[in-house]
Structure 1
Amino acid sequence: MNALLFLSVVLIWGLTWFAIHLQLGGTTVDVAIFWRFAVSVVLLGSGLALTGRLRRPSREAVPWLAGMGACLFSCNFLAIYSSEMFLPSGIVSVVFSMSVILNVLNQWLFFRQRPDIRALIGGMFGVCGVAMLLGGGADTGAASSVGTGLALALLGTTLFSCGNMLSRRVARFDLGLPNAVLWAMVFGVFLMGVNVFTQGHSFMPVMTARWLGGLGYLAAMGTVAGFLFYLMLAQRIGADRAAYTTILSPVIALGVSAFFEGGHWSELMMAGLFLILCGNVVAFARVRAVRQPMEVEQG
């Protein structure tokens, strides 16, 4: 059962990156994000209500939940979705895996948990890998596009890491992780709705099989099912071992991206991807040693 849960999380989150790609071009990215989490809120909220576990947050928790929603369920995705307009989804997924390293550094910054030498070495591997991705893109004559895509992917990854730090603060309110995620998503949906309205974009989704298929997968599988399966796995084997899914899911994303998107990478870019993955593996030894009360994954 543990192996099945582990494989399910890796596959579900590995495929979310291509599902994001399916929605690009159909609407603006803020509209796609709005509908993804609006549907997720309905699904998760209904599940909690039907099982009698739905709880309202306290007033003190609201500002922290709003910040968590901005970093985990709106602004970070706005940057991530936009980055896939410039880069194959597989590359974006690997850049996003650097959130493991950023979490270590942010824990040092905000919670005075100093990283050891393994985390620092892993971080250097990651930075060098991103630089090689940019250099490899220059060989194809698309350096500016690659640079823009990497900047957006790194911005989204940084916001996601900050959201993880906020989730630790939210855990102190004894709201429970499923309810905390639900209410944070509500704030994220509200924020995206305001952005769609102020930008003058239409809320109307695209009624095509491609766009709706991507929406259905991202909302039901990538957000709700993937999250619940991860929690079940964490309860069974521990959050530290379960978090290895964030290292393996980019491998799935890269394979899917190469097959469906016709992604072509130079040798330098491939070396950069390898360095980023190696950096995460090296740094992860430090991350898995510290169990957090609440930590949210993206997919």
Structure 2
Amino acid sequence: MSSNNLLYAATILIWGSTWFVIKFQLGVVDPSVSVAYRFALAGGLLLAWLAIRRQPLVPPRHGWHWVAITGILTFSGNYLFVYKATSLLPSGLVAVAGSVLTLMNVVNARIFLGQPLRPVVLLGGTIGVLGVLMLFGPEITAHGLGGGALLGFGLMMGANLCASLGNMAVAKARKAEVPLFAATAWGMLLGSATMAVIAAVRGVPFTFDPSLPYVGSLLYLALAGSVAAFLCYFTLLGRIGADRAGYVAVMVPIVALVISTLFESYEWTPVGAAGLALAVGGNLLVMTPPSRLPRWRFLGAEAKP
């Protein structure tokens, strides 16, 4: 197996498993405090890794506002919503809801970066969202509109919005030639600080659960989910480009649903299976570069690859 394939597999398996591992963070410690712990540890470890490799540790002055936006949105609000949604839903379902991020990234890239929005992307995004709604259908039917499924879906849409806007800040930072790893490390630390402030304002106690499940999951999420996986993905990004590396986002929800089926007794239905197929297929359309698509007509207009 090539090194690129190993990076692919590592990134997919780690990020696909983190959705389930978050379950072990819930209960004793408030989610905002757990997120603060996670990214304080992850940001510190990433800075230590950069120091060992003698890479830049501090972003330039002109990039700090993008780092702050990334920290507040990606490593704070995004994960707080994810943790809360995971307390209401099977982790695999949360992961599939997170796949809507792909469409939000494309739309926000059009708004904030001026990137073109192709008709096939709109079609793929629509199909993907329809698939996610179909997956949530059985949960909403079983528990009603007042149950956790609808609230969990709403929380994940909030998480996707935060993450997507944070991604736009990362894109702006990269355009401004801000060192990516240093910006990520400080973004994590600022996200941790933001969560700590929010917890303090809410009067949430900074408790710690010394149990093996909590400590083990915290270390896994910080070391593997927030440092190793990012390093693998960014390395892959540099080697094969964003279009091919982006297919990681298609595979992660599938892995998460398999894990949820094995360990959370997630019950499949024909509608749910069809929804997963549409969600994956829609994301594939969104992620596929124009050069790999045939010429076709959409609403009477020819789409040129």
TM-score (norm 2): 0.89
Taking the aligned partners of 1:196 and 1:15, their CA distance within structure 2 comes to 27
Secondary structure at the counterpart of residue 282 of structure 1: helix
Flag the 1:67–1:287 CA change in 2: closer, same or farther, 3 A: farther
Residue 169 (str. 1) matches residue 196 (str. 2) = no
Q: In the alignment, which of 96, 100, 103 is matched to residue 98 of structure 1?
A: 100
Q: In the alignment, which of 124, 127, 141 is matched to residue 125 of structure 1?
A: 127
Describe the superposition over 1:99-121 as per-residue Cα deviations: whole angstroms up to 9, x where unpaired: 11111111111122222121111
Taking the aligned partners of 1:24 and 1:255, their CA distance within structure 2 comes to 21
Q: Give the corresponding residue for 1:160.
A: 163
Secondary structure at the counterpart of residue 142 of structure 2: coil
Q: Give the corresponding residue for 1:294.
A: none
Q: Give the corresponding residue for 2:228.
A: 225
The residue type paired with residue 22 of structure 1 is F
Flag the 1:70–1:135 CA change in 2: closer, same or farther, 3 A: same
Contact 1:133 1:268 in 2 (8 A): yes
Taking the aligned partners of 1:41 and 1:178, their CA distance within structure 2 comes to 10
Q: In the alignment, which of 274, 277, 281 is matched to residue 277 of structure 2?
A: 274
Contact 1:118 1:285 in 2 (8 A): no
Q: In the alignment, which of 54, 57, 64 is matched to residue 56 of structure 2?
A: 54
Flag the 1:21–1:70 CA change in 2: closer, same or farther, 3 A: same
The residue type paired with residue 131 of structure 2 is G
Q: Give the corresponding residue for 1:112.
A: 114
Q: Give the corresponding residue for 1:255.
A: 258
Contact 1:91 1:273 in 2 (8 A): no
Taking the aligned partners of 1:203 and 1:146, their CA distance within structure 2 comes to 29
The aligned runs of 1:174-193 (5 Å cut-off) are: 174-193=177-196
Q: In the alignment, which of 150, 169, 182 is matched to residue 153 of structure 2?
A: 150
Tell which deviates more after alignment, 31-40 or 130-139. 130-139
| Structure 1 residues without counterparts, runs of 5 or longer | 290-299
Q: Shift of the alpha carbon at 1:142?
A: 4.1
The residue type paired with residue 179 of structure 1 is A
Taking the aligned partners of 1:42 and 1:109, their CA distance within structure 2 comes to 33
Flag the 1:203–1:69 CA change in 2: closer, same or farther, 3 A: same
User: What stretches of structure 1 move > 3 A for 4+ residues in a row?
Assistant: 286-289
Tell which deviates more after alignment, 127-136 or 161-170. 127-136
Taking the aligned partners of 1:8 and 1:265, their CA distance within structure 2 comes to 26
TM-score (norm 1): 0.91
Taking the aligned partners of 1:181 and 1:275, their CA distance within structure 2 comes to 32
Q: In the alignment, which of 241, 245, 270 is matched to residue 242 of structure 1?
A: 245
Secondary structure at the counterpart of residue 115 of structure 1: coil
Q: Give the corresponding residue for 2:80.
A: 78
The residue type paired with residue 202 of structure 1 is P
Q: Shift of the alpha carbon at 1:59?
A: 3.4
Describe the superposition over 1:64-96 as per-residue Cα deviations: whole angstroms up to 9, x where unpaired: 211111111010111111111111110111111
Taking the aligned partners of 1:179 and 1:160, their CA distance within structure 2 comes to 18
Taking the aligned partners of 1:84 and 1:91, their CA distance within structure 2 comes to 9
Taking the aligned partners of 2:251 and 2:244, their CA distance within structure 1 comes to 12
Contact 2:95 2:256 in 1 (8 A): yes
Taking the aligned partners of 2:79 and 2:100, their CA distance within structure 1 comes to 15
Contact 2:63 2:173 in 1 (8 A): yes
Taking the aligned partners of 1:288 and 1:30, their CA distance within structure 2 comes to 43
Taking the aligned partners of 1:66 and 1:110, their CA distance within structure 2 comes to 17
Describe the superposition over 1:173-198 as per-residue Cα deviations: whole angstroms up to 9, x where unpaired: 42311011011112111101101111
Taking the aligned partners of 1:47 and 1:138, their CA distance within structure 2 comes to 44
Q: In the alignment, which of 1, 11, 14 is matched to residue 13 of structure 2?
A: 11
Taking the aligned partners of 1:62 and 1:75, their CA distance within structure 2 comes to 18
Taking the aligned partners of 1:230 and 1:102, their CA distance within structure 2 comes to 20
Flag the 1:138–1:97 CA change in 2: closer, same or farther, 3 A: closer
Taking the aligned partners of 2:221 and 2:86, their CA distance within structure 1 comes to 15
Identity of aligned residues (%): 35
Q: Shift of the alpha carbon at 1:146?
A: 0.7
